[in-house]
Amino acid sequence: MIRRHPHVFSDIEVSNSDDVVTNWDEIKRQEKGKDESDELLLDSVPKGLPALIESRKLQKQAAKVGFDWDAAAPIFVKLQEEIGEFLQEVKYDRTKEMRQELGDILFVLANLARFYDIDAEEALLGANQKFRRRFNYIDETTKRRGLSMSELSLEELDEIWDEAKQLEKEGESYEAR
């Protein structure tokens, strides 16, 4: 611990957290007996991480050497480009290519989250929870009205979804029981 935190336990000065990480990475390389030139930059990102976390770490490593956008606008342009490529593959019903292009879209979205310092995993979990609450509201509401969801049109289900959204905006609780 002392060896890997010289900014705390010795006379090494750092100006920000990036300096701490840079020092940490260098100390780890020295401990492994590797020369910096022996290791590829992305080798430090462990394999087998959840995909959103791995995306963030890969992009963060690439950013260390300047392979990064300094504004959000080009990220949105890249997102539009990737969506266009996905739609092109959809047009020709090429499943393998659609999967690859969707992966590219998700990678760009992970980069956008990183740019705004948003934890993409946390954001997606929040969206899942919100979807669950709203869908459960539809389920409960249709049952309370003596209906079955499968009997209703998408437009009718969407109206109930909008009720749930409105209740959220008004601060009303409608959690599923």
Best CA proximity match to 134, nearest among 163, 164, 157, 160: 164
Q: Say if residues 85 and 104 touch (Cβ distance below 8 Å).
A: yes
Q: Say if residues 52 and 121 touch (Cβ distance below 8 Å).
A: yes
Q: Say if residues 68 and 108 touch (Cβ distance below 8 Å).
A: no
Residue 177, pLDDT > 50, answer: no
Q: How far is CA 31 from the centre of its chain?
A: 32
CA angle 157, 162, 168 (to 5 degrees): 135
CA angle 70, 76, 81 (to 5 degrees): 120
The structure tokens listed for 27 are 């100390």
| This prediction's pTM | 0.74
d(CA 101, CA 89): 8
Please state the domain extents for the chain.
Answer: 120-169
pLDDT value for 1 = 63
The structure tokens listed for 145 are 């009205």
For residue 13, name the pLDDT band (cuts at 50, 70, 90). confident
What is the overall mean pLDDT for the chain?
89
Which CA distances in Å does 170 have to 112, 134, 144, 164?
Answer: 30, 14, 22, 10
The count of other CB atoms within 10 Å of the CB of residue 160 is 20
Higher pLDDT, 149 or 7: 149
- The number of residues in the chain equals 177
The structure tokens listed for 89 are 């593959």
pLDDT value for 160 = 97
